[in-house]
Amino acid sequence: MSSDSDTLNPGNGDSLPAREEDGIDRQLSRLEKDYRELTEKAQNLLTERVYLENEVSQQKKKVSRLEEEIRMLRSPPHIVGHVQDRISDEKIVVRSSNGTVFLVSANQRIDQDLLKPGARVALNQDTLSVIEVLHDAWDPLVTGAEMVEKPDISYSDMGGIDEQIRLVKESIELPLSSPESFTRFGIKPPKGVLLVGPPGCGKTMLAKAVASSTDCSFIRLVGSELAQKYIGEGGRMVRELFDLAREKAPSIVFIDEIDAIGAKRLDTATSGDREVQRTLMQLLAELDGFDALDDVKLISATNRPDILDEALLRPGRFDRIIEIPLPNEEGRTAILNIHMGKMPKAKDLSVAKIVSKTKGFSGADLKATCVEAAMVAIRAKRKSVNAKDFRTAIERISEKKENSTRGDAPENLFH
């Protein structure tokens, strides 16, 4: 080594080891640099590997999802039906969704306890044998409806409609809670009531309160949806809705905007009208089909009673009509007290003044006014709501009301 250095550095005895050291240092630092670079590279490759492994597993999952999708798309559709009776462990009577009754066999793997009359089942399209028991959920067709097992609205949440509450209690609650009093007197209670009145006056709320007070399931369907959304399916929807109501009994079926399916029948009907009529006919058939003392009750609502087909209003159908008009002063006071109940109020706030300035307001408008006034106070970072907040709110809601009622057909129908 030293001889090498000697040849490299002739005649400079002193500087030789220093230069040698220099060279070694340089080499060392180069090696260190290389090492750092390689470590970094290795680290990057490692990260990349982890990333790619992750990517591969993601793609694998995607492939299996897509394979599952393909499998589902390839599998034949199943027919939905209800078990009507069990003849033996293997033989079961089912009613398919189009109404035909079949005697079929059931898959032996199915839990026998689930195959009870009333259970919803999937049937093989060719053999109609029961493939599986569907869980107790909505039929996809009835998903347009709202269903609440027990609504949390009580009569005390409503103001100014005490008389209407009394009438509804008498027609719906009494037959449900003590049907024997009707049988004793040999009379039949109404099967359903029709609530009429302008929008936002508490028709839905009242129906929900009855359901809640009688521990009934609440099933709500909007007539216009029935008429438009399920072309060709209206009649079936009605039938399935009643099936569901019977299944969930005691229950209250609430048909909002019944005028959309229950308007007077005209001779010059278009095919769309004929479809709506079929839906109405099915509704009438269902109404006639169940007993007034059954634990399924019907409440329907409209703000156009003038256009309803009389067939709907015949005895044994919606033969009790309850009007819920716009609230008068007393009603508005009661409604405001309910919706302002929990609000921290400034001293200058007077309910009587709000009442006098909200003539023509519905319950929903009054609620919106309270919410708006509270929002004004919150935006201004105040701790309570004052008279000015309410003045602003009333102005805003009046404006909104004016814009929305402009051009409405049955103006002032209930005033």
Assess 223 for contact with ligand ATP (CB under 6 A): no
Residues forming a β-bridge with 105: 91
Applying CB under 6 A, among 364, 375, 387, 413 the residue interacting with ligand ATP is 364
Number of amino acids touching ligand ATP (CB under 6 A): 19
The token duo for 108 is 């032996």
Which of 202, 223, 234, 235 is the binder for ligand ATP (CB under 6 A)?
Answer: 202
Nearest to 336, CA basis, from 365, 378, 377, 360: 365
Could you give the angle at the alpha carbon of 370 between the alpha carbons of 364 and 372, nearest 5°? 100
Q: Which is nearer to ligand ATP, 256 or 275 (CB)?
A: 256
Of 160, 175, 192, 305, which one interacts with ligand ATP (CB under 6 A)? 160
Tokens of 386: 């004052």
Binding to ligand ATP (CB under 6 A): which residues in 78-107? none
- Cα three-residue angle 355-361-363, rounded to 5 degrees: 95
For the CB of residue 222, give the shortest distance to ligand ATP in the complex, in Å: 8
Q: Residue 338, interface with ligand ATP (CB under 6 A)?
A: yes
Q: Are 51 and 59 in contact (CB under 8 A)?
A: no
CA distances from 268 to 273, 370, 410 (A): 9, 47, 23
Q: How far is the CB of 209 from ligand ATP (least distance, A)?
A: 9
> Does position 201 bind ligand ATP by CB under 6 A?
yes
Q: Which of residues 140-159 bind ligand ATP (CB under 6 A)?
A: 158-159
Task: Indicate whether 367 belongs to the interface with ligand ATP (CB under 6 A).
Answer: yes
Q: How far is the CB of 160 from ligand ATP (least distance, A)?
A: 5
Which amino acid is present at 384? Answer: S
> Does 123 help bind ligand ATP (rule: CB under 6 A)?
no
Q: How far is CA 289 from the centre of its chain?
A: 28
Which listed range, 213-221, 229-237, 274-282, 359-367, lies at the site for ligand ATP (CB under 6 A)?
A: 359-367
Q: Which of the residues 382 through 411 are near ligand ATP (CB under 6 A)?
A: none
Amino acid at site 11: G
Question: What is the CB neighbour count within 10 angstroms for residue 249?
Answer: 15
By C-beta, is 64 or 405 nearer to ligand ATP? Answer: 405
370 is a site residue for ligand ATP (CB under 6 A): no
Residues 327, 369 contacting (CB under 8 angstroms)? no
Q: Which position's Cβ is nearest ligand ATP? A: 363
Q: Does 335 bind ligand ATP (CB under 6 A)?
A: yes
Q: Helix, strand, coil shares of the chain as percentages rounded to 5?
A: 50, 15, 35
End-to-end CA distance of the chain: 116
**Comparison of 182 and 414: residue with beta carbon closer to ligand ATP:** 414
The residue (of 128 and 222) whose beta carbon lies closer to ligand ATP is 222
- Rounded to whole angstroms, the Cα distance separating 69 from 86 reads 34
Q: Which residues bind ligand ATP (CB under 6 A)?
A: 158-161, 199-205, 256, 301, 303, 335, 338, 363-364, 367
